[in-house]
């Protein structure tokens, strides 16, 4: 019986992967045709996730909303570059990240990593409201005030680690997919993930028990 269950589970996982691949290819074909109906459907499906990612990446609502519009314009104009070999959301986050890099380059920084390394007070919690579209894997272990503390802790974290945590636990991307989005080696992604989790623990403790850190 256990062997049968394992075989059934493996078969189900393969079917799910096949469905994802088929959907990705259909999206790729639609974007090549510049199918406006498909674009509208993609915006509805991914708008909350994309805006949330941009908010966490920039810590600035106005900037995130401007970039949000620009990302979808880029998808419309250059959607033919998506070949369907990866999940669409992985490609979408890559487009968004590249636009953030372009914006930062105009401000004399040559990469997103430099933006992270130069981060300061602008990357701390500024009272922005993070877009939501139902509970994420990161939220499922918390609710109410706990969820607010998680968001606050992320916004106070070094953006270099924040991005990996958001992509892994909010967007449920695999480590390999995160490496694709960030253009970083898999070992670097793992290091940032572990360091981000370690960095988050004292921040959560500080917010849960502020009297102990006073």
Q: Let me know if 207 is exposed, middle or buried by CB neighbors in 10 A (0-12, 13-18, 19+).
A: middle
- Considering only CA atoms, give the Rg of the chain: 19
Each of the 214 residues of the chain gets a pLDDT tens digit; together they read 555 555 556 667 788 788 989 999 999 999 999 888 999 999 999 999 999 999 998 888 999 999 999 999 999 888 999 999 999 999 999 999 999 988 887 765 445 555 555 444 344 444 556 656 555 545 554 555 566 777 777 888 888 888 999 998 888 899 999 999 999 999 999 999 999 888 887 766 665 555 554 4
Residue 176 lies in a domain: yes
Q: The tokens of 184 are what? A: 């970083």
Residue 2 lies in a domain: no
Residue 91 lies in a domain: yes
DSSP category for residue 89 = H
**Which pLDDT score, from 0 to 100, does residue 53 have?**
94
Question: CB within 8 A of 121, min separation 6: which ones?
Answer: none
Residue 5 lies in a domain: no
Distance (Å, whole) CA 49 – CA 33: 25
Distance (Å, whole) CA 142 – CA 108: 39
The residue behind tokens 């922005």 is: 128
Per the confidence metrics, is the pTM higher than 0.85?
A: no
Distance (Å, whole) CA 56 – CA 126: 11
CB count, 10 Å around CB of 203? 17
CB 27 within 8 A of CB 84: yes
Residue 76 lies in a domain: yes
CATH number (domain holding residue 163):
1.20.140.160
Residue 111 lies in a domain: yes
Residue 102 lies in a domain: yes
Domain of residue 90 covers: 15-213
CB count, 10 Å around CB of 186? 12
Number of structural domains found in the chain: 1
Residue 8 lies in a domain: no
User: In the chain, what is the greatest distance between 2 CA atoms, to the nearest angstrom?
Assistant: 62
Question: CB within 8 A of 142, min separation 6: which ones?
Answer: 149, 150
């Amino acid at each position: 019986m256990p062997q049968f269950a394992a075989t059934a589970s493996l078969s189900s996982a393969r079917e799910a992967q096949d469905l994802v691949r088929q959907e990705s290819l259909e999206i790729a074909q639609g974007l090549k045709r510049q199918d406006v109906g498909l674009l509208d459907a993609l915006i509805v499906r991914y708008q909350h996730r994309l805006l949330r990612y941009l908010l966490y990446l920039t810590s600035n609502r106005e900037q995130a909303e401007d970039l949000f519009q620009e990302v979808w314009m880029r998808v419309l104009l250059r959607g033919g570059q998506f070949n369907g070999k990866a999940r669409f959301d992985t490609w979408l986050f890559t487009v968004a990240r590249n636009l953030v890099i372009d914006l930062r380059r105009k401000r004399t920084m040559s990469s997103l990593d430099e933006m992270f390394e130069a981060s300061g007070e602008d990357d701390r919690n500024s009272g922005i409201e993070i877009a939501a579209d139902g509970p994420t894997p990161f939220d499922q272990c918390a609710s109410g005030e706990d969820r607010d503390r998680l968001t606050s802790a992320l916004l106070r974290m070094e953006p270099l680690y924040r991005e990996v945590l958001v992509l892994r636990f909010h967007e449920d991307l695999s480590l390999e997919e995160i490496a694709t989005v960030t253009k970083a080696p898999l070992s670097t992604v793992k290091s940032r993930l572990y360091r981000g989790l370690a960095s988050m623990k004292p921040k959560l403790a500080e917010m849960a028990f502020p009297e102990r850190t006073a």
